[in-house]
Amino acid sequence: MATLEIKDLHVEVEDEEKQTKREILTGVNLSMKTGEIHAIMGPNGTGKSTLSQTIMGQPAYHVTKGDILLNGESIIKMPVDERARKGLFLGMQYPAEIQGVTNAEFLRAAMNARRPQDNQISVMAFLKELDKNLELLDMSQEMTERYLNEGFSGGEKKRNEILQLLMIKPSFALLDEIDSGLDIDALKVVSKGVNSLRGDDFGSLIITHYQRLLNYIVPDVVHVMMGGRIVKTGDADLAQKLEDEGYAGLRDELGLDV
């Protein structure tokens, strides 16, 4: 079992225009372990993406207080690739087009990065796994022979992200708005992919603005983030309640002014 703990996390970003720093996360606490799927919901601009980027180690986000522990070890000083090797995955991690690297080459390199030098995946084993996952996601072989993300449509990029997830099999997947811009069929495929990983060795933190996705990937725990921290935690019913009553209702209930 792997654990991910976020403790009183405060994060600042630099505002380049105003040449000032702004605190975005104001004390986030969240603990999860593999076997669990947690969802984070919250209004726009409340710091959800900042949290996922900070967990992954995006250098624009400065931790000023608190800590992030992966299996009890602090990761806040580690670069992104080290965090990835230790089992974290962020959707939209590689949104850029990478010239001259095919999708398949990229996938194999990413899988091997998580394996010891003397136990790299064989070409045969890789192709077998790739075929299996392409079929699950209803993707064509041709997608894997194309250069990474080059000319991919929005929907193709999302599907490809889930393919990366299925191939890399991280301990924890941070999935930020994977539902945005997806039609219902694509949403079902993406959800099927995530659900296929559910089990004792996999955990996911799913960030979404809308409840819809959570009909397909039913979370064990739902957190609501407002004003840069988690203001309420509950089970899957909390997402439905939010959908019915809106964030304004919760704001009133909790007496928040954020």
Binding stretches for Mg ion (CB under 5 A): 44, 48-49
Site for ligand ADP, residues 135 to 174, rule: CB under 6 A: none
Radius of gyration of the chain (CA): 18
Identified binder of ligand ADP from the candidate list 34, 41, 49, 137, rule CB under 6 A: 49
**Closer to Mg ion at the Cβ: 49 or 144?**
49
Please report whether residue 227 would count as binding ligand ADP according to CB under 6 A: no
Tokens read off for 199: 């089990």
**Closer to ligand ADP at the Cβ: 201 or 243?**
243
For residue 91, how many C-alpha atoms fall within 13 Å in the half-sphere facing its CB?
25
Q: Which does 13 bind (CB under 5 to 8 A by kind): Mg ion, ligand ADP, none?
A: ligand ADP
Identified binder of ligand ADP from the candidate list 28, 34, 42, 206, rule CB under 6 A: 42
Please report whether residue 13 would count as binding ligand ADP according to CB under 6 A: yes
**Closer to ligand ADP at the Cβ: 51 or 148?**
51
Cα–Cα distance for residue pair 166/129, rounded to 1 Å:
9
Q: Locate tokens 């991690």: which residue?
A: 93
Identified binder of ligand ADP from the candidate list 10, 48, 83, 232, rule CB under 6 A: 48
Identified binder of ligand ADP from the candidate list 19, 44, 117, 153, rule CB under 6 A: 44
What b/e sequence results for 153-176 when a residue is b if at least 16 CB atoms lie within 10 Å of its CB, and e otherwise?
A: eebebbbbbbbbbbbbebbbbbbb
SS3 at position 177: coil
Please report whether residue 60 would count as binding ligand ADP according to CB under 6 A: yes
> Is residue 163 within 8 Å of 107, Cβ to Cβ?
yes
**Closer to Mg ion at the Cβ: 2 or 178?**
178
SS3 at position 33: strand
**Closer to ligand ADP at the Cβ: 110 or 207?**
207
Write the binding mask 100 to 129 for ligand ADP: x where contact by CB under 6 A, - elsewhere.
Answer: ------------------------------
208: exposed, middle or buried (Cβ count in 10 Å: 0-12, 13-18, 19+): buried
Cα–Cα distance for residue pair 143/189, rounded to 1 Å:
16
Compute the least distance from the CB of residue 10 to Mg ion, in Å. 18
SS3 at position 92: coil
Q: Locate tokens 């009890």: which residue?
A: 72
**Closer to ligand ADP at the Cβ: 44 or 99?**
44
Compute the least distance from the CB of residue 22 to ligand ADP, in Å. 7
The span of 41-49, 102-110, 197-205, 240-248 binding ligand ADP (CB under 6 A) equals 41-49
Please report whether residue 50 would count as binding ligand ADP according to CB under 6 A: yes
Count other C-beta atoms under 10 Å from residue 128's C-beta.
12
DSSP letter, residue 119: G
> Is residue 217 within 8 Å of 187, Cβ to Cβ?
no
Binding site for ligand ADP (CB under 6 A): 13, 15, 24, 42, 44-50, 60
